[in-house]
Amino acid sequence: MSKEIMQKNIARAQAYIDQNKESVKQGRMRQDYHFMPQTGWINDPNGLIFYKGKYHIFYQYNPYYGHWDYMHWGHAVSEDLVHWEHLPLALAPSETYDDHYRGGCFSGSAIEHDGKLFLMYTGCTNNGSGFEQTQCIAFSEDGIHFEKYEGNPVLAAPEGVPKHLFRDPKVWKNDGKYYMICGASKNNLAQALLYVSEDMLHWEFFSVLAQSRGEWGYMWECPDFFPLGDKYVLLVSPMGAGERTCVYMVGDFSYETGKFVWDVSGEADWGFDFYAPQSFVDGKGRRLVIGWANAWDWMPFWKDWGPAYREGWCGSFAVPRQVKMNADHTLSFEPVEELETLRGEETVQENVLVEGGREDIPLQDGYAYELKMEVDLKETTASAFSLLLRCDQDRTRQTKITFDLKGQHMYFDRNQADGWSRGVSHSPLRLKEPGVFSVHIFVDTSSIEVFAEDYRTNHSCNVFADRSQDKNFLSVPAGNLKIRSMQTWSLKKTMDC
Ligand code: FRU
């Protein structure tokens, strides 16, 4: 029964993709090296796993339109995290529990069990009394073709948790048992609920792993929980927490009590376009995260889905990042070293003293490139400097990244970027001793990711600038800026779609 319906829906989606991918490929906003769909809309990365020697990403996918609706799971694999091969869709809506307009197969995760690849996802449906979310299982022998478990759904919302606010299971294994956390809401406060299972099919409630005290919203989407060094990390994408869209907490966890007690928190990214990151460990033992380069709050929702939407697609993934723990238990999110294989032409400058108050200094032209710089704060008297990126000839169009060294603040201003994007994302900096201030930037056709202070303070925002906007400048309004080194590389195109 159901098996055939899912296969039919996958085949229909696949046929649509094959018919339309060539025309979508022509879009001016298509990314050069960030993962994106062949057609249609993507949001959260799902089911990230290093499985049988390859990186697998699944993702929230509406193949038919460049806007969110009717969620399928797309699928791609890679051997190096930078070149991706699109595979057939893994899941399509097909059952009473996951087949509905504005519903479908919502986010979830993957794990190897019993020699098979298991997916745990949220089925979202509406049987006439509002949206209902339950946790479901699918599995595959070959890691490509999936079948939904006949006993689905395996878990419904517990008492007190609204049926439409119970989603995004993230599963892992510890000491022979399976554990899973799920986003939920109770009394209008966000929660991460912990469940345990012996066989991936029967799940029991274990504990409320953590909850918001009001400061972090009414619902945590895509919670993720993992050990790092001798600590544990909870990563959540809160709804209803204002501009805070990707928060981490670091603390201690006990498998005896199921409680997580944290004392350090921060932002994985302060930009407008980094949301729902999911983590996994790869063959090299690294804890990696991949995030969706977009977010709900900053989208002029339902009205205008933006310049990419008009080209028949929308959404990409931020560059994969490795999570590292600092001595003070804050986290750094560092782009993976594999990205270095994309580097083309290089320009290097070393030990340059820039005198402020003069003309802005032109940097290497480009719309898809990487820029790495180190500022020697001991020999710097400038209280601030800016990078003007993706500008047109006369700089009426520009994206301005400002580092206010004296005021200890960072700004990412895209109000003049492209005529569509808006807003200034901003965050504190934490410069203490005068030392070296590091900045590392990845620019692509429609996104800019800025990593500062050794990858602790990061801003990722989409910018829909035309490729002809390829001028870049350094601006030092007053004082001197001592640049220890500045390197730029053009980056090769990897996304052939
Ligand atoms: C996060 C999210 C998830 C949900 C999915 C639906 O972006 O809202 O909570 O499972 O997207 O596409």
Domains contained in the chain, CATH given? 2-334 (2.115.10.20), 343-490 (2.60.120.560)
Q: What is the 3-state secondary structure (H, E, C) of the chain?
A: CHHHHHHHHHHHHHHHHHHHHHHHHCCCCCCCCCCCCCCEEEEEEEEEEEECCEEEEEEEEECCCCCCCCEEEEEEEECCCCCCEEEEEEECCCCCCCCCCCCEEEEEEEEEECCEEEEEEEEEEECCCCEEEEEEEEEECCCCCCEECCCCCCECCCCCCCCCCEEEEEEEEECCEEEEEEEEEECCEEEEEEEEECCCCCCEEEEEEEECCCCCCCEEEEEEEEEECCEEEEEEEEECCCCCCCEEEEEEECCCCCCEEEEEEEECCCCCCCEEEEEEECCCCCEEEEEECCCCCCCCCCCCCCCCHHHCEECCECCCEEEEECCCCCEEEEECHHHHHHEEEEEEEEEEEEECCCCCEECCCCCCEEEEEEEEHHHCCCCEEEEEEEECCCCCCCEEEEEECCCCEEEEECCCCCCCCCCEEEEECCCCCCCEEEEEEEEECCEEEEEECCCCEEEEEECCCCCCCCEEEEECCCCEEEEEEEEEEEECCCCCC
For the sheet containing 72-78, what is the strand order?
Answer: 85-91, 72-78, 54-62, 40-51, 313-314
Ligand 1 pocket by C-beta < 6 Å: which residues? Answer: 43-44, 60, 71, 106-107, 122, 167-168, 221-222, 275-276
Residue 19 CA to ligand 1 center (angstroms) comes to 27
Beta-sheet pairing, 471-475 with 85-91: unpaired
- Nearest Cα residue to atom 9 of ligand 1: 221
Residue 277 CA to ligand 1 center (angstroms) comes to 11
Ligand 1 atom nearest 133 alpha carbon: 10
How many other C-beta atoms lie within 10 A of the C-beta of residue 85? Answer: 11
Ligand 1 atom nearest 107 alpha carbon: 10
* Encoded tokens for 493: 């195109």
Sign of the Cα pseudo-torsion (60, 63, 66, 70, in order): negative
Substitution candidate for ligand 1 out of 106, 185, 296 with most atoms within 8 A of CB: 106
Ligand 1 atom nearest 296 alpha carbon: 7
In terms of Cα–Cα distance, which of 222, 181, 215, 173 is closest to 198?
173
Residue 399 CA to ligand 1 center (angstroms) comes to 29
Q: What is the pLDDT of residue 126?
A: 94
Q: What is the pLDDT of residue 244?
A: 84
Q: What is the pTM of this model?
A: 0.97
Substitution candidate for ligand 1 out of 44, 181, 191, 294 with most atoms within 8 A of CB: 44
- Nearest Cα residue to atom 8 of ligand 1: 221
- Nearest Cα residue to atom 2 of ligand 1: 221
Residue type at position 469:
Q
Substitution candidate for ligand 1 out of 41, 43, 46, 218 with most atoms within 8 A of CB: 43
Q: What is the pLDDT of residue 297?
A: 66
Residue 2 CA to ligand 1 center (angstroms) comes to 24
User: Are 260 and 210 a contacting pair, CB within 8 Å?
Assistant: yes
Q: What is the pLDDT of residue 302?
A: 55
User: Are 179 and 172 a contacting pair, CB within 8 Å?
Assistant: yes
Q: What is the pLDDT of residue 303?
A: 66
Task: Please tell me the distance from the alpha carbon of residue 334 to that of residue 474, in angstroms, as a whole number.
Answer: 23
Residue 336 CA to ligand 1 center (angstroms) comes to 25
User: Are 140 and 147 a contacting pair, CB within 8 Å?
Assistant: yes
User: Are 439 and 333 a contacting pair, CB within 8 Å?
Assistant: no
Catalytic positions are 44
Ligand 1 atom nearest 106 alpha carbon: 10
For the sheet containing 369-376, what is the strand order?
Answer: 343-355, 480-491, 369-376, 436-444, 447-452, 457-462
- Nearest Cα residue to atom 6 of ligand 1: 106
Q: What is the pLDDT of residue 299?
A: 59
In terms of Cα–Cα distance, which of 465, 426, 458, 424 is closest to 444?
465
Substitution candidate for ligand 1 out of 67, 69, 100, 107 with most atoms within 8 A of CB: 107
From the number of C-beta atoms within 10 Å of its C-beta (0-12, 13-18, 19+), residue 326 rates as middle
Residue 422 CA to ligand 1 center (angstroms) comes to 23
In terms of Cα–Cα distance, which of 33, 32, 27 is closest to 319?
33
Residue type at position 94:
S
Ligand 1 atom nearest 60 alpha carbon: 12
pLDDT tens for the 497 residues of the chain, in order: 578 999 999 999 999 999 999 999 999 999 999 999 999 999 999 999 999 999 999 999 999 999 999 999 999 999 999 999 999 999 999 999 999 989 999 999 999 999 999 999 999 999 888 999 999 999 999 999 999 999 999 999 999 999 999 999 999 999 999 999 999 999 999 999 999 999 999 999 999 999 998 888 999 999 999 999 999 999 999 999 887 889 999 999 999 999 999 999 999 999 999 999 999 999 999 999 999 999 886 555 556 788 999 999 999 999 999 999 999 999 999 999 999 999 999 999 999 999 999 999 999 999 999 999 999 999 999 999 999 999 999 999 999 999 999 999 999 999 999 999 999 999 999 987 779 999 999 999 999 999 999 999 999 999 999 999 999 999 999 999 999 999 999 999 999 99
ipTM of the complex: 0.99
Residue 477 CA to ligand 1 center (angstroms) comes to 43
Q: What is the pLDDT of residue 281?
A: 98
